[in-house]
Amino acid sequence: MASAAEGDVGAVAELARVLRWGFEELSLNKLAASLGATEQALRLIISIFLGYPLALFYRHYLFYKDSYLIHLFHTFTGLSIAYFNFGSQVYHSLLCVVLQFLILRLMGRTITAVLTTFCFQMAYLLAGYYYTATGNYDIKWTMPHCVLTLKLIGLAVDYFDGGKDPNSLSSEQQKHAIRGVPSLLEVAGFSYFYGAFLVGPQFSMNHYMKLVQGQLTDIPGKIPNSTIPALKRLSLGLIYLVGYTLLSPHITEDYLLTEDYDSHPFWFRCMYMLVWGKFVLYKYVTCWLVTEGVCILTGLGFNDFENGKAKWDACANMKVWLFETNPRFAGTIASFNTNTNAWVARYFFKRLKFLGNKELSHGLSLLFLALWHGLHSGYLVCFQMEFLIVIVERQATSLIQESPTLSNLASITVLQPFYYLVQQTIHWLFMGYSMTAFCLFTWDKWLKVYKSIYFLGHVFFLSLLFILPYVHKAMVPRKEKLKKME
């Protein structure tokens, strides 16, 4: 048994040596320049795609091996990827992982441990943002660290829940509650898992341990039959990657700041923002689809069976069809970065139930998300717009459903394509409006663009916020009138 384990460790070491040699032989600067990308962006792409050979190695050599070997493999490969991308700055994640383990061990299953974790991990991340901030989007150690921050906070909450009476927990909390005491190696393997370390997705410690224990497979006792599902997500990711690569030189956020953009007619400025707002999200879609394929290949994407068929969406961060076709803002929110949204709902929004106000809980959750993304004012403006748009969209939907006149008008079949076109135009125009602040970061940049289109998004939705209640009152009959009509 010992010789087999030594052989596995030797194989991992040999794999790492070969990969490191290959990386050193590449002239990444020249290659990145020839592709029109930065070296850091190229390193990120290489690292994401590197997950596939690592997943294949894991499937064929480690899937049912001893847990400590799997944790070592995940820790070593994750740290190697971190070092390849960020060099000695890998110490930031190492420090937070080790300190998080100590917090769990020394403070136990207490609310103090949860609050200490939240304050320390968020403070460390925000300090990282502060000391590394520039006016542009840079790929630096804070990028994977924001993913790690959520992982470690979730770990502390699940560990806390594990000390409670199961009957006092919701079914969701029972599913994620950690009953045992994680070792440092388990926490490290969970934190550095190569399929999710750089850009996500989020998953719980319990789900990760099921992977290590060989439970995440559709064929008990054998490696998961997940190759085809993984290749489907990879292929979809490659389609988005090609689309982004072809369009990125021609549709940029930098153009929004030019005099040429300002000199065009108002309608052109709006339409450019609409097209750019749709396209700019493709880089995120690409990364999430490719990494989801890695997670599926390892088995981490296994999500039980439905109608006798295995589901592989446990690590899905994108609902592509919904993203491309739904004409509502709520549809985009439900389809985009779904794992992070689910994390915020599970560990933040639902934990604010004691406030007794869903709108307040929603607003605080979006404030948390804005700070989690960074300290730039653009993030606050973007999530403020999301909050405003969602409230107005709910009001408008309620008005149309409850007003007999509007509901009858909305149900006219021949007008459905026209309604859909109008909805999609409004949807993506103001998605682009919100993303302008998100991508331009600093107030002087996004303010310049917003001035050029006369703060259209704020004027439009703030006006509707105050007008729609009066329209609702005028067009929706009172219950007494409805009873008479019945």
SS (H, E, C) 90-111: HHHHHHHHHHHHHHHHHHCCCH
Q: Which of 452, 420, 421 is nearest to 270 (CA)?
A: 452
Q: Are residues 173 and 235 in the same domain?
A: no
262 contact partners, CB below 8 Å, separation of at least 6 = 269, 452
Residue 155, in any domain of the structure: yes
Q: Which of 215, 249, 271 is the last residue of a domain?
A: 215
Give how many domains the chain has, as a whole number.
2
- The answer to whether the Cα torsion of 308, 310, 316, 318 is positive or negative is negative
Q: How many CA atoms lie within 13 A of 33 on its CB side?
A: 5
214 contact partners, CB below 8 Å, separation of at least 6 = 63, 64
- The answer to whether the Cα torsion of 196, 201, 204, 210 is positive or negative is negative
Residue 279, in any domain of the structure: yes
Q: Are residues 7 and 40 in the same domain?
A: yes
Q: Are residues 200 and 345 in the same domain?
A: no
Question: How close are the terminal C-alpha atoms of the chain, in Å?
Answer: 78
Residue 223, in any domain of the structure: no
| CA distance linking residue 82 with residue 93, whole number of Å | 9
**201 and 295 Cβ atoms separated by less than 8 Å:** yes
Q: Are residues 238 and 206 in the same domain?
A: no
Three-point CA angle 284, 93, 174, nearest 5°: 75
Q: Are residues 234 and 210 in the same domain?
A: no
Q: Are residues 19 and 104 in the same domain?
A: yes
Peptide bond before residue 201 is cis, with ω within 30 degrees of 0? yes
The pLDDT tens digits of the residues spanning 329-379 come to 999 999 999 999 999 999 999 999 999 999 999 999 999 999 999 999 999
| CA distance linking residue 189 with residue 413, whole number of Å | 54
Residue 48, in any domain of the structure: yes
Q: Are residues 207 and 238 in the same domain?
A: no
Residue 81, in any domain of the structure: yes
Active site residue 176: no
- Residue 265's pLDDT band, with cuts at 50, 70 and 90, is very high
Other beta carbons within 10 Å of 271: 16
Q: Which of 181, 215, 249 is the last residue of a domain?
A: 215
Active site residue 373: yes
Whether residue 126 has pLDDT greater than 90: yes
Q: Which two tokens stand for residue 108?
A: 């136990």
Would you give the distance in Å from CA 484 to the centre of its chain? 50
Other beta carbons within 10 Å of 119: 10
Residue 220, in any domain of the structure: no
Percent of the chain whose pLDDT exceeds 90: 81
Kindly list the distances between the CA atom of residue 266 and the CA atoms of 271, 279, 419, in Å, as whole numbers in the listed order: 9, 20, 23
- Over range 469-485, report the average pLDDT: 71
The pLDDT tens digits of the residues spanning 37-96 come to 788 888 999 999 999 999 999 999 999 999 999 999 999 999 999 999 999 999 999 999
Q: Which of 79, 62, 69 is nearest to 16 (CA)?
A: 79
What's the predicted TM-score (pTM) here? 0.89
Q: Are residues 232 and 210 in the same domain?
A: no
- Report the SS3 class of residue 310: strand
Q: Are residues 456 and 401 in the same domain?
A: yes
Q: Which of 225, 303, 362, 373 is catalytic?
A: 373
Q: Which of 388, 392, 397 is nearest to 419 (CA)?
A: 397
Residue 90, in any domain of the structure: yes
Kindly list the distances between the CA atom of residue 378 and the CA atoms of 124, 362, 385, 434, 457, in Å, as whole numbers in the listed order: 21, 19, 11, 9, 14
- What pLDDT does 17 receive? 53
Would you give the distance in Å from CA 173 to the centre of its chain? 21
Q: Are residues 310 and 370 in the same domain?
A: yes
- Report the SS3 class of residue 305: strand
449 contact partners, CB below 8 Å, separation of at least 6 = 256, 257, 273, 436, 440
169 contact partners, CB below 8 Å, separation of at least 6 = 161, 177
**Please, where are the H alpha helices in 280-415?**
282-298, 320-325, 329-335, 338-344, 358-373, 377-402, 404-410
- What pLDDT does 484 receive? 40
**Please, where are the H alpha helices in 177-281?**
184-192, 205-212, 227-247, 259-263, 266-279
Question: CA torsion, points 448, 450, 452, 455, in degrees to nearest 10?
Answer: -140
| CA distance linking residue 123 with residue 120, whole number of Å | 5
The range of the structural domain enclosing residue 114 comes to 2-215
- Over range 144-163, report the average pLDDT: 97
Q: Which of 337, 341, 376, 427 is catalytic?
A: 337
Q: Are residues 166 and 304 in the same domain?
A: no
| CA distance linking residue 233 with residue 295, whole number of Å | 10
| CA distance linking residue 261 with residue 266, whole number of Å | 10
Q: Which of 148, 180, 215 is the last residue of a domain?
A: 215
- Residue 231's pLDDT band, with cuts at 50, 70 and 90, is very high
Residue 222, in any domain of the structure: no
- The helices-and-strands tally (H runs, E runs) of the chain is 24, 2
Percent of the chain whose pLDDT exceeds 70: 92
Q: Are residues 476 and 418 in the same domain?
A: yes
